[in-house]
Structure 1
Amino acid sequence: MSVAVSLTTTSPSLFTFTQPYSLLPPLSSSLFYVQLSQPSEHPPLCHPSTSLLVRTSMLPTGKAHQEDLKRLFTRPGPHIFKDATIPITFVGVHVVEFLLSPNCSRQFKTLEISFLVSKAIYGCTQLEISSLLRSAVVSGCSSFVSALIDAGGDVNERDSDGRSMLSFAVNSANIDVVKVLIDSGCRVDDWGDLFLHNAAEMNRIDLLEVLCENGDSVKLVNSVDSVGRTPIHVSAVNGNVGALRFCAEMNGDLDCVDYNGSTPLHYAAAEGHVECVEFLLECCLYSKYAINKDGKTPYMVAVENGKEESHLLDLLHLGDVLHRAASLDDVNAIKSCIAQGAKVNGRDQNCWTPLHRAAFKGRIESVKALLSHGAQVDLVDNLGYTPLHCAVEAGHTKVALYLIAHGAKGNLKSIQGLSTLNLDPFKNHPAFVSPLCGKTEQV
Structure 2
Amino acid sequence: MDRLVKADVKEVELSFKRDQKCGTTFRLSNLMHTMSVAVNLTTTNPSLFSFSQPFSIIPPLSSSSYTLLLSQPSDHPPLPTTVPNDVINVKASMLPTGKAGLEGLRRLFARPGPHVFRDATIPISFVGPHVVEFLISQRTQISGFDFFFNKAVSGCSGSELTELLRPAIASGNANLVSSLIDAGGDVNPKVSDSGCWLSLAVRSGSIEVVKILIACGCKVDNSVLHDAVAMNRVDLVDILCKNFPEIDVNWADSDGRTPIHIAAANGHVEMLKFCISAGGNADVWDRKGWTPLHCAAEKGHLEPIKSLLECSNVKYVVNKNGKTAFDLAAENGHLNLLCFLRFDDFLLRAARLDDAHGLKSCLAEGAEVNGRDQNGWTPLHRAAFKGRIECVKVLLNHSAQLDVVDDAGYTPLHCAVEAGHVQVALLLVAHGARANVKSLEGIVSPVSLDRFKNHPALVHPVCHEQERT
Same fold (TM over 0.5): yes
For residue 152 of structure 1, what is the amino acid of its counterpart?
G
Deviation at residue 127 of structure 1 after TM alignment? 4.1
Match of 2:108 in 1: 65
Match of 2:242 in 1: 213
Matches within 5 A, 1:38-437: 40-46=74-80, 47-50=82-85, 52=87, 65-69=108-112, 71-72=113-114, 86-101=122-137, 104-108=138-142, 112-157=144-189, 159=191, 161=193, 163-188=195-220, 190-191=221-222, 194-216=223-245, 219-284=247-312, 286-309=313-336, 312-330=337-355, 333-334=358-359, 337-338=362-363, 340-343=365-368, 363=388, 376=397, 381-382=402-403
For residue 402 of structure 2, what is the amino acid of its counterpart?
D
For residue 97 of structure 1, what is the amino acid of its counterpart?
E
Answer whether contact 1:200 1:243 (CA < 8 A) is retained. Answer: yes
Is the alpha carbon distance of 1:276 and 1:13 closer, same or farther for their aligned partners in structure 2, counting shifts above 3 Å? Answer: farther
Answer whether contact 2:371 2:379 (CA < 8 A) is retained. Answer: yes
Is the alpha carbon distance of 1:363 and 1:254 closer, same or farther for their aligned partners in structure 2, counting shifts above 3 Å? Answer: closer
Is the alpha carbon distance of 1:164 and 1:314 closer, same or farther for their aligned partners in structure 2, counting shifts above 3 Å? Answer: same
Higher RCO (Cα < 8 Å, 6 or more apart):
2
- Alignment partner of 1:186: what SS? coil
- Alignment partner of 1:221: what SS? coil
Q: Distance in 2 between matches of 1:412 and 1:290?
A: 35
Match of 1:435 in 2: none
Q: Distance in 1 between matches of 2:412 and 2:284?
A: 36
- Alignment partner of 2:315: what SS? helix
Q: Distance in 2 between matches of 1:216 and 1:148?
A: 28
Is the alpha carbon distance of 1:379 and 1:180 closer, same or farther for their aligned partners in structure 2, counting shifts above 3 Å? Answer: closer
- Alignment partner of 1:143: what SS? helix
Is the alpha carbon distance of 1:300 and 1:377 closer, same or farther for their aligned partners in structure 2, counting shifts above 3 Å? Answer: closer
Q: Deviations for 1:48-87, whole angstroms, at most 9, x for unmatched residues?
A: 5326376889979899822333x4499xxxxx88x76644
Q: Distance in 1 between matches of 2:147 and 2:273?
A: 42
**Aligned length, in residue pairs:** 386
Q: Distance in 2 between matches of 1:210 and 1:263?
A: 26
Q: Deviations for 1:301-331, whole angstroms, at most 9, x for unmatched residues?
A: 322333211xx22222222421330331235
Match of 1:437 in 2: none
Deviation at residue 6 of structure 1 after TM alignment? 8.4
Match of 2:461 in 1: none
Deviation at residue 221 of structure 1 after TM alignment? 0.8
For residue 207 of structure 1, what is the amino acid of its counterpart?
L
TM-score (norm 1): 0.67
Matches within 5 A, 1:18-29: 27-29=61-63
- Alignment partner of 2:141: what SS? coil
Give the structure with the larger strand fraction.
Answer: 2
Answer whether contact 1:380 1:386 (CA < 8 A) is retained. Answer: no
Answer whether contact 1:22 1:66 (CA < 8 A) is retained. Answer: no
For residue 66 of structure 1, what is the amino acid of its counterpart?
F
Alignment root-mean-square deviation, CA? 4.8
Answer whether contact 1:313 1:341 (CA < 8 A) is retained. Answer: no
Is the alpha carbon distance of 1:118 and 1:12 closer, same or farther for their aligned partners in structure 2, counting shifts above 3 Å? Answer: same
User: Comparing 225-234 with 120-129, which one deviates more in the overlay?
Assistant: 120-129
User: Comparing 220-229 with 293-302, which one deviates more in the overlay?
Assistant: 293-302
Q: Which runs of 5+ in 1 are unaligned?
A: 75-79, 401-409, 426-443
Is the alpha carbon distance of 1:355 and 1:206 closer, same or farther for their aligned partners in structure 2, counting shifts above 3 Å? Answer: closer
TM-score (norm 2): 0.64
Is the alpha carbon distance of 1:20 and 1:274 closer, same or farther for their aligned partners in structure 2, counting shifts above 3 Å? Answer: same
User: Comparing 228-237 with 313-322, which one deviates more in the overlay?
Assistant: 313-322
Q: Distance in 2 between matches of 1:114 and 1:275?
A: 47
For residue 288 of structure 1, what is the amino acid of its counterpart?
K
User: Comparing 30-39 with 318-327, which one deviates more in the overlay?
Assistant: 30-39
Q: Distance in 2 between matches of 1:236 and 1:360?
A: 34
Answer whether contact 2:370 2:400 (CA < 8 A) is retained. Answer: no
Is the alpha carbon distance of 1:85 and 1:182 closer, same or farther for their aligned partners in structure 2, counting shifts above 3 Å? Answer: farther
Q: Distance in 1 between matches of 2:129 and 2:197?
A: 19
For residue 293 of structure 1, what is the amino acid of its counterpart?
K
Q: Which runs of 5+ in 2 are unaligned?
A: 5-37, 98-104, 405-410, 446-469
For residue 133 of structure 2, what is the amino acid of its counterpart?
E
For residue 323 of structure 1, what is the amino acid of its counterpart?
L
Deviation at residue 147 of structure 1 after TM alignment? 3.1
Match of 1:403 in 2: none
User: Comparing 165-174 with 273-282, which one deviates more in the overlay?
Assistant: 165-174
Q: Deviations for 1:182-234, whole angstroms, at most 9, x for unmatched residues?
A: 3333211x34xx111111111111221232223235x4211111121111111
